[in-house]
Copies of this chain bind each other. A is one copy, B any other.
Amino acid sequence: MAGLPEDTIAARLASLSGWERVGDVICRQFTFPDFKAAMAFANRVAALAEEANHHPDILIEYDTVTLTLSSHDVGGLTERDFRLAARIQA
Which A residues contact B (CB, under 8 angstroms)?
35-36, 39, 42-43, 46, 49-50, 55, 57-62
* CB-based contact B50/A61 at 8 Å: no
- With a cutoff of 8 Å between Cβ atoms, the chain B residues found around residue A43 in the complex are 39, 43
If A39-B43, A57-B60, A59-B60 are given as contacts, then 17 extra A-B residue pairs at C-beta distance below 8 Å, sorted by A number, are A35-B46, A35-B49, A35-B50, A35-B55, A36-B50, A39-B42, A39-B46, A42-B42, A42-B60, A43-B43, A46-B60, A55-B62, A57-B59, A57-B61, A57-B62, A58-B59, A58-B60
The contact sample of 7 A-B pairs, CB cut-off 8 A, is: A35-B49, A35-B50, A36-B50, A39-B46, A42-B60, A55-B62, A58-B60
